[in-house]
C-alpha cells in the first residue's frame, strides 16, 4: 500500500514536470509568434492553454484524492500540498504565454514589437525558457543549491525588463503610447513568469526543509 | 475531537476573512496614497504587506497541521485545500496594493496619476474595495449565488480598465510614455486584484460542490 502511494507521489512529480514542458513550449512559441507575427502559432498557444488548465485540474484531483485516502504526514504531506501550489504557479506561467500570444494575435498582421525592442524581447523569451528548464529540473531533483540559483536568473530577467522600460521612456521613443503600453504589458508577462518560477524554487525549499523562504515579490 | 476540529475549520475561515479585511484596507490606502501623493500612507501600505504575508504563512501552517492530524475527507478536505488557495489569492491581492503603493512612493512628491485619469483610478479603487468586501462575505457565507455575482463586478473593473487604456492611446494624451507606463501597470494591478477575487469565488464553488468552474483568466 505505502509503496503504491510512493509510486503515486512520483507520478505527481512527473506530471508537474510534464506541465513545465508544456509551459516551456507555450512560452517559446508565444515569443516566436510575437516576434514574427505568426498568427497560426499564436492561435496554437492560445488553444493549448486549455490543455495546461485541464492538466492542472487532473493533477489537483489526484493530489486531493491522495490527501483524502492516504493520510500523509511530514514530507509526503508537504509533497502533496506543494504540488497543489506548483501546479498553480505553472498554470499562471501558462497564462503568461497565453497573454503574450493574444497580444501577438491582436496586432496581427503587424508585430506588437518594434525593431528597437525585438532583441530585448527575444532575450526575455530566451531567459524565460532557460528558467522553465531549470524549474523543471528542480521539481524533479529537489536540489536546494539549484533552487538557490533561480533568483540569479530572475535578476537577469529583471535587468532585461528594466532595459525594456528604459527604452520606452527615452525621449526618442518614436512609436507612441499604444506601443509603449504593449511593451509594458509584455515586459510584465515575462517578468511574472520568471517570478512564478522563483516561487516554485521557494516551494522546493519548503518541501525539503519544512521552512518558508521569504517572498520578495 | 471532531468538534474541536470543526472549531478549527471555522477559525481558519475567520482568518481568511481577517486577511481579506487587511487586503481591503491596504487597497484603499494604496489608492488614496496614489491619488493624493501621500508618502506616509504609501509607506504604511508597503510595511503592512509583511503582516499579510506573515498571516498567510501562519494560516497555511495551521491548515497543514490539520491536514496532517485530522485526516479530513470530502467537504472538510476541500475546506482545507481551498483555504491554502484562498490565502494565496489574498496574499497576491495584498501584493497588488503593495505595488500600487510603491508606484505612489516612486513618483513622490509628484503623483503618478495625471488629472485626466484620476477619476478612473478612483473608480477602480472603489470597485476593488467593493469586490474585496463581497469576497470577504462569500468566504464566510459560501453562498453560491453571491459567488456568481463576482464576475459581474469584475466586468465593471474590466470596463474601467479599458477606459483607462483607451485614454492613454488617444491622440491627445499629453503626458508622455512614462506616465502611460505607470497607468498601464496601475490598471493591471487593479484588474489582477479583481481577478484574484473572482478566483476566490470559483474556489467557493469548488468548496461547496466539489466541481471546478472554468477559469477565464
To test the contact with chain A by mutation, choose from B52, B162, B177, B214 the residue with the greatest count of A C-beta atoms within 10 A, namely B177
Mean pLDDT of A155-170: 95
B45-64: string of b/e by CB count within 10 Å (b at 16+)? bbebbeebbebbeebbebbb
Mean pLDDT of B168-173: 84
Bigger pLDDT: B211 vs B25: B25
Write down the pLDDT at residue B170.
84
* B196 close to B130: Cβ distance less than 8 angstroms: no
Question: Quick check: B33 pLDDT over 80?
Answer: yes
Distance, CA of B27 to CA of B45 (rounded, Å) = 8
Q: If you average pLDDT over every residue of chain A, what do you get?
A: 94
Query: What cell was used for B7?
Result: 472549531
Query: Could you give the dihedral angle defined by the CA atoms of residues A90, B136, B62 and B99, in that order, rounded to the nearest 10 degrees?
Result: 50
- Map out the domains of chain B as residue ranges: 2-209
* Chain B interface with A: residues with Cβ < 8 Å: 53, 57, 64, 67-68, 71-74, 77-78, 81, 84-85, 88, 95, 165, 168-169, 173, 176-178, 180-181, 184-185, 188, 212, 215, 217
Distance, CA of A182 to CA of A163 (rounded, Å) = 15
Write down the pLDDT at residue A26.
98
CB-based contact B53 A215, cutoff 8 Å: yes
For residue B23, what pLDDT band results from cuts at 50, 70 and 90?
A: very high
* A177 close to B168: Cβ distance less than 8 angstroms: yes
Write down the pLDDT at residue B171.
77
* A42 close to A104: Cβ distance less than 8 angstroms: yes
Instruction: Give the homologous superfamily in CATH for domain A2-209.
Output: Phosphate transport system protein phou homolog 2; domain 2 (1.20.58.220)
pLDDT in tens, A191-202: 999 999 999 999
For residue B182, what pLDDT band results from cuts at 50, 70 and 90?
A: very high
**Phi-psi group of B172: left, alpha or beta (phi > 0 → left; psi -120 to 50 → alpha; rest → beta):** alpha
* A143 close to A209: Cβ distance less than 8 angstroms: no
Write down the pLDDT at residue B213.
79
Is pTM, for the whole model, over 0.90?
yes
Please list every residue in chain B whose beta carbon sits closer than 8 Å to the beta carbon of residue A81.
64, 67, 84
Bigger pLDDT: A216 vs A152: A152
Match 476540529 to its residue by C-alpha cell. B5
Residue closest to B184 by CA, chosen among A30, A169, A26, A163: A169
Match 528558467 to its residue by C-alpha cell. A131
Question: Quick check: B214 pLDDT over 80?
Answer: no
Question: Quick check: B191 pLDDT over 90?
Answer: yes
* Chain A interface with B: residues with Cβ < 8 Å: 53, 57, 64, 67-68, 71-74, 77-78, 81, 84-85, 88, 95, 165, 168-169, 173, 176-178, 180-181, 184-185, 188, 212, 215, 217
Question: Quick check: A143 pLDDT over 70?
Answer: yes
* A187 close to A117: Cβ distance less than 8 angstroms: no
Write down the pLDDT at residue A80.
95
Distance, CA of B24 to CA of B131 (rounded, Å) = 9
Phi, psi of B71 (to 5 degrees): 45, 55
B126 min Cα distance to partner chain A (Å): 23
Residue closest to A150 by CA, chosen among A195, A192, A89, A91: A195
To test the contact with chain B by mutation, choose from A84, A184, A187 the residue with the greatest count of B C-beta atoms within 10 A, namely A184
Mean pLDDT of A157-169: 95
In chain B, helix, strand, coil percent, each to 5? Answer: 85, 0, 15
Using CA coordinates, name the residue in chain A closest to B94.
Answer: A217
Question: Quick check: B210 pLDDT over 60?
Answer: yes
CB-based contact A81 B68, cutoff 8 Å: no
For residue B5, what pLDDT band results from cuts at 50, 70 and 90?
A: very high
CB-based contact B169 A178, cutoff 8 Å: yes
Question: Quick check: A210 pLDDT over 80?
Answer: yes
Mean pLDDT of B174-184: 91
* A43 close to A111: Cβ distance less than 8 angstroms: no
Percent of chain A surpassing pLDDT 90:
88
Please list every residue in chain B whose beta carbon sits closer than 8 Å to the beta carbon of residue A78.
64
Write down the pLDDT at residue A13.
97
> Reduced to 3 states, what is the DSSP secondary structure of residue A142?
coil
pLDDT in tens, A13-49: 999 999 999 999 999 999 999 999 999 999 999 999 9
Please list every residue in chain A whose beta carbon sits closer than 8 Å to the beta carbon of residue B56.
none
To test the contact with chain A by mutation, choose from B180, B185, B209 the residue with the greatest count of A C-beta atoms within 10 A, namely B180
Query: Could you give the dihedral angle defined by the CA atoms of residues A195, A198, A202 and A208, in that order, rounded to the nearest 10 degrees?
Result: 150
- The beta-carbon neighbor of B184 closest among A71, A77, A185 is A185
Write down the pLDDT at residue B174.
87
Longest dimension (CA), chain B: 67
B142 min Cα distance to partner chain A (Å): 20
Residue closest to A69 by CA, chosen among A157, A8, A130, A155: A8
Amino acid at each position: 500500500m505505502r509503496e503504491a502511494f510512493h509510486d503515486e507521489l512520483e507520478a505527481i512529480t512527473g506530471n508537474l514536470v510534464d506541465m513545465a514542458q508544456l509551459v516551456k513550449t507555450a512560452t517559446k512559441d508565444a515569443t516566436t509568434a510575437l516576434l514574427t507575427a505568426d498568427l497560426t502559432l499564436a492561435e496554437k498557444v492560445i488553444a493549448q492553454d486549455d490543455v495546461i488548465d485541464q492538466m492542472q485540474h487532473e493533477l489537483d484531483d489526484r493530489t486531493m484524492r491522495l490527501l483524502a485516502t492516504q493520510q500523509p504526514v511530514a514530507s509526503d504531506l508537504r509533497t502533496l500540498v506543494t504540488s497543489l501550489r506548483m501546479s498553480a504557479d505553472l498554470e499562471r506561467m501558462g497564462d503568461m504565454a497565453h497573454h503574450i500570444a493574444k497580444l501577438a494575435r491582436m496586432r496581427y498582421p503587424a508585430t506588437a514589437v518594434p525593431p528597437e525592442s525585438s532583441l530585448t524581447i527575444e532575450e526575455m523569451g530566451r531567459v524565460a525558457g532557460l528558467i522553465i528548464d531549470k524549474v523543471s529540473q528542480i521539481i524533479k531533483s529537489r536540489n536546494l543549491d539549484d533552487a538557490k540559483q533561480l533568483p540569479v536568473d530572475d535578476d537577469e530577467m529583471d535587468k532585461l525588463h528594466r532595459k525594456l522600460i528604459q527604452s520606452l521612456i527615452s525621449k526618442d521613443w518614436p512609436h507612441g503610447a499604444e506601443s509603449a503600453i504593449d511593451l509594458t504589458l509584455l515586459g510584465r508577462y515575462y517578468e511574472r513568469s520568471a517570478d512564478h518560477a522563483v516561487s516554485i524554487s521557494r516551494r522546493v525549499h519548503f518541501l525539503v526543509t519544512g521552512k518558508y523562504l521569504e517572498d520578495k515579490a
